C-alpha cells in the first residue's frame, strides 16, 4: 500500500526488567483496514496494543498516530488524541455494579460532558449498534451471556465515536456461532462507520473472514504483515504450523468453500 498509514510504529522496543518483549518492531495500520495481529502466547500482542493506545510507555521507538508522534505530545494533546480510539479489552472490563446503559454512558458523561439523560439515550443507540436488544440496556453484566458482554464492551468502545477500534481477543470464550456473528458485526461496523481496526486474536476463523491484512509477531518483531495469501506462504515454522495445521485448513475451507470443490 502506498497510502500514508494512520498508525506508524517504528523501532519499538518494550522491556520488563531483563525480559525483552519487543525489539526494533515496525508495523503500520492503514485507514479503513481490519488488521489481524497474531502470534504465539506471550509474543507481546497485548503489550503492542497497550503501547499504541498509550497505556504503556515503550522502552524505545516511535509511535505516530494520525501523523502525530505520541511521545512528543503534551498530556492534554495525548488524551485528546487517545479519545479517537475505542478499546475493547480482553476481559470486557465492564463495571459489574452498573447496568449496560450506565456502563456505556460513563465515557459520554466523563469525556463528552453529556448530561446523564442524554448519555443514557445515546448509550442505548450504541448498544443497539453492537447488536443488543433494547431490554439489555437496563440489565447488569452478571445477567448476560459471554457474547452479550462482548457486545456491551464493544458498545462502550464505540461510545465516543472512535476512528480506530482496538480489539483484544474479541471472540475468545465465545461459541463458534457467537464468534462468527461477532466477526460479521466487526465487518459491518467497519463498513458502516468507516473504522480502522487493530484486532489481536488467536481465532483463525476471524482472520479468514474479517481481516484485510494479518501481522504475525515472532521473535520480538513483526515477522510478516500482509494479505493472508502472502502470510500463509511465508517461510516460517510457526506460521506453517498455525496456518497449515488442521484448524488453519478448516478455517480456510470455511472461508473459501469454492476452492475445495
Ligand X SMILES: Nc1ncnc2c1ncn2[C@@H]1O[C@H](COP(=O)(O)OP(=O)(O)OP(=O)(O)O)[C@@H](O)[C@H]1O
| Shortest Cβ 202–ligand X spacing (Å) | 6
Binding of ligand X by 207 (CB under 6 A): no
Binding of ligand X by 16 (CB under 6 A): yes
| Shortest Cβ 44–ligand X spacing (Å) | 4
Binding of ligand X by 45 (CB under 6 A): yes
Binding of ligand X by 9 (CB under 6 A): no
| Shortest Cβ 209–ligand X spacing (Å) | 20
Distances 96 to 125, 144, 168, 254 between C-alpha atoms, Å: 21, 11, 20, 37
| Shortest Cβ 53–ligand X spacing (Å) | 13
Among 1, 4, 10, 42, binds ligand X (CB under 6 A): 42
Helix (H) or strand (E) run with residue 51 in it:
helix 45-52
Residues 6+ apart with CB under 8 A from 134: 124, 128
Binding of ligand X by 18 (CB under 6 A): no
Binding of ligand X by 58 (CB under 6 A): no
What's the DSSP call for residue 170?
T
Question: Which residue, 44 or 248, has its beta carbon nearer to ligand X?
Answer: 44
All three cell numbers of 242: 498455525
Binding of ligand X by 147 (CB under 6 A): no
Return d(Cα 20, Cα 193) in angstroms, integer: 37
Distances 221 to 45, 72, 186 between C-alpha atoms, Å: 10, 24, 26
Residue 131: name the closest of 109, 111, 113, 147 by CA: 147
| Shortest Cβ 8–ligand X spacing (Å) | 20
Binding of ligand X by 36 (CB under 6 A): no
Binding site for ligand X (CB under 6 A): 16, 21, 39, 41-47
Amino acid at each position: 500500500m502506498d497510502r500514508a498509514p494512520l498508525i506508524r510504529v517504528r523501532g519499538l522496543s518494550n522491556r520488563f526488567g531483563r525480559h525483552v518483549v519487543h525489539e526494533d518492531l515496525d508495523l503500520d495500520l492503514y485507514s479503513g483496514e481490519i488488521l489481524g495481529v497474531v502470534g504465539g502466547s506471550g509474543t507481546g500482542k497485548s503489550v503492542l496494543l497497550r503501547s499504541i493506545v498509550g497505556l504503556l510507555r515503550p522502552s524505545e521507538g516511535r509511535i505516530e498516530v494520525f501523523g502525530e508522534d505520541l511521545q512528543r505530545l503534551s498530556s492534554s494533546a495525548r488524551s485528546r488524541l487517545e479519545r479517537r480510539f475505542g478499546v475493547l479489552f480482553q476481559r470486557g472490563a465492564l463495571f459489574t455494579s452498573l447496568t449496560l446503559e450506565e456502563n456505556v454512558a460513563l465515557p459520554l458523561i466523563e469525556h463528552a460532558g453529556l448530561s446523564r439523560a442524554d448519555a443514557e439515550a445515546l448509550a442505548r443507540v450504541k448498544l443497539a449498534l453492537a447488536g443488543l436488544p433494547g431490554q439489555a440496556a437496563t440489565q447488569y453484566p452478571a445477567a448476560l451471556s459471554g457474547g452479550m458482554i462482548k457486545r456491551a464492551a464493544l458498545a462502550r468502545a464505540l461510545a465516543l465515536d472512535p476512528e480506530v477500534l482496538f480489539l483484544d481477543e474479541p471472540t475468545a470464550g465465545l461459541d463458534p456461532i457467537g464468534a462468527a456473528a461477532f466477526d460479521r458485526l466487526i465487518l459491518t461496523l467497519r463498513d458502516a462507520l468507516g473504522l480502522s481496526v487493530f484486532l489481536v486474536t488467536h481465532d483463525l476463523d476471524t482472520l479468514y473472514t474479517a481481516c484485510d491484512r494479518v501481522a504475525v509477531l515472532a521473535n520480538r518483531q513483526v515477522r510478516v504483515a500482509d494479505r493472508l495469501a502472502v502470510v500463509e506462504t511465508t517461510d516460517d515454522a510457526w506460521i506453517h504450523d498455525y496456518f497449515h495445521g488442521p484448524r488453519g485448513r478448516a478455517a480456510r475451507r470455511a472461508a473459501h468453500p469454492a476452492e475445495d470443490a
